[in-house]
Amino acid sequence: MTPTLKDVALRAGVSTSAVSRTFTDGASVSDKMRKKVEKAAAELGYSPNFIARSLTTRRTKLIGLVSDNFYNPVFLEVFDRFTRALQDCGLRPLLVNLSNETDPESSVRMLQQYSVDGVMVASSTLPPEFSKAFRDKNIPVVNTFGRHATSPDVHVVGIDNVAAGRMAARELISRGYKSIAFLGGPKRATSTLDRLEGFQAELALHPDVTFSYSFASAYSFHAGRAEILRLAEFGLAEAYFGGDDVLSVGILSGLQDLGKNVPNDVGLIGFNNMEMAGWENIALTTIHQPIAQIIASSVELMVAMLENPDRYPEARLFPCHVVERKTLRPIQSR
């Protein structure tokens, strides 16, 4: 149906090698030959079959893009940026959804069966072992949004979650809140734990503030809302660090229903700076995670690995910053 190399060769009256060479750059072909071939190819509407090509070149230019997070708004941006950045490098994302928790094992095998050139693991909740499985099969892998501490043998790009936790704590303290709490997502996410660790460590420097923490059942609006409502029965803290923006908006909503004035009765700072945090009727003060840089750097790293698969693993960490909106009261000068 679709024309092949041979068809073009026949029509142009040349060998298949000649045709092949005019379509692989850096190959030696005379201008005359190139013209002839290109003419025939154009007439036939030919373009090389990447799949067949990959058999000999051992490069599919396919990149596995695996994630288990299809419900956080920031992942819209993540997918958008990933696909664009990869496309710009001539790479193609093969999307893998791990949400259904079907054993990761099989995803690893599948990606191998498709001969992907590399894999991007975009998740902060997937265990490092998952990423390592690829490395063990000699497939270049970068764990975007991963935790660097526990996986020193796989490339990680993301943020320093404990630093982010400290940042949140400092912010809350600077606003003069004296009773401060952490309201995280499920404990299983290591990023949550790291954030908590930094948060707690920073707070420990201030003996005059009291600290508490709890975990919502999921990284969702309703989980955040339910948790703050539950907490209210025992008495609220003066300020909360929400584990994530959607959780935080749930907290905010609960607070509003409780008749609390945010930020005066209780302050709230989120994490991620998802788009909705900036909506005027939400106006959540939050910590911005530099997604654009993280992803650009991730694919940059990936293409570097494609050239040199034995590249020594590194962790690339980007700084966050707080974006001030309306859920924290002004900085208190003492």
Partner DNA sequence: TGAAATCTTGCAAACGATTGCAAGCATATT
Partner DNA sequence: AATATGCTTGCAATCGTTTGCAAGATTTCA
What is the rounded distance in angstroms from the CA atom of residue 246 to the CA atom of residue 234?
Answer: 23
Residue from 138, 174, 214, 332 touching its own copies (CB under 8 A): that is: 138
Applying CB under 8 A, does 292 fall inside the site for its own copies? Answer: no
Residue of 6, 137, 178, 311 interacting with DNA (CB under 7 A): 6
Query: Is 325 a binder of DNA (CB under 7 A)?
Result: no
6 binds, among DNA, its own copies, none (CB under 5 to 8 A by kind): DNA
Taking each helix axis from N to C terminus, what angle separates 245-257 and 221-232, rounded to the nearest 10 degrees? 40
Which residue in 29, 78, 85, 119 binds DNA (CB under 7 A)?
Answer: 29
* Residue 23 interacts with which of DNA, its own copies, none, CB < 5 to 8 Å by class: DNA
Closest residue by Cα to residue 10 from 22, 21, 23, 19: 19
| 225 lies in the site for its own copies, by CB under 8 A | yes
Residue 65: CB minimum distance to its own copies, A: 7
Q: How many residues bind its own copies (CB under 8 A)?
A: 55
The correct pick among 10, 11, 30, 139 for binding DNA (CB under 7 A) is 30
Say whether residue 76 binds DNA (CB under 7 A).
Answer: no
CA distance linking residue 118 with residue 65, whole number of Å: 9
- Minimum CB separation from DNA for residue 66, in Å? 22
Radius of gyration of the chain (CA): 26
Does the footprint of its own copies cover residue 93 (CB under 8 A)? yes
The verdict on 138 binding DNA (CB under 7 A) reads: no
Question: Rule CB under 8 A: is residue 112 a binding residue for its own copies?
Answer: yes
> Which of 65, 91, 120, 277 is close enough to bind its own copies by CB under 8 A?
65
d(CA 244, CA 247): 5
**Rounded CA gap, 78 and 148, in Å?**
19
State residue 144 phi and psi, 5-degree precision: -80, 135
Give the Cα separation of 84 and 48 in Å (integer). Answer: 23
Residue 55, Cβ density class (10 Å: 0-12 exposed, 13-18 middle, ≥19 buried): exposed
Across 7-148, where does the E strand assignment appear? 62-67, 92-97, 118-122, 141-144
Among its own copies, DNA, none, what binds residue 154 when CB lies within 5 to 8 Å by partner kind? none
Running DSSP on this structure, what letter comes out for residue 277? G
Residue 205's Cβ-count burial label (10 Å; 0-12, 13-18, 19+) is exposed
CA 263 to chain centre: 30
**Binding residues for its own copies (CB under 8 A):** 1-2, 47-52, 54-55, 60, 62, 65, 70-73, 75-77, 79-80, 83-84, 87, 92-97, 99-100, 109-110, 112-115, 137-138, 221, 225, 249-250, 252-253, 256-257, 275-276, 279-282
**Binding residues for DNA (CB under 7 A):** 3-6, 14-21, 23-24, 27-30, 32-33, 46, 48-49, 52-53, 55-57
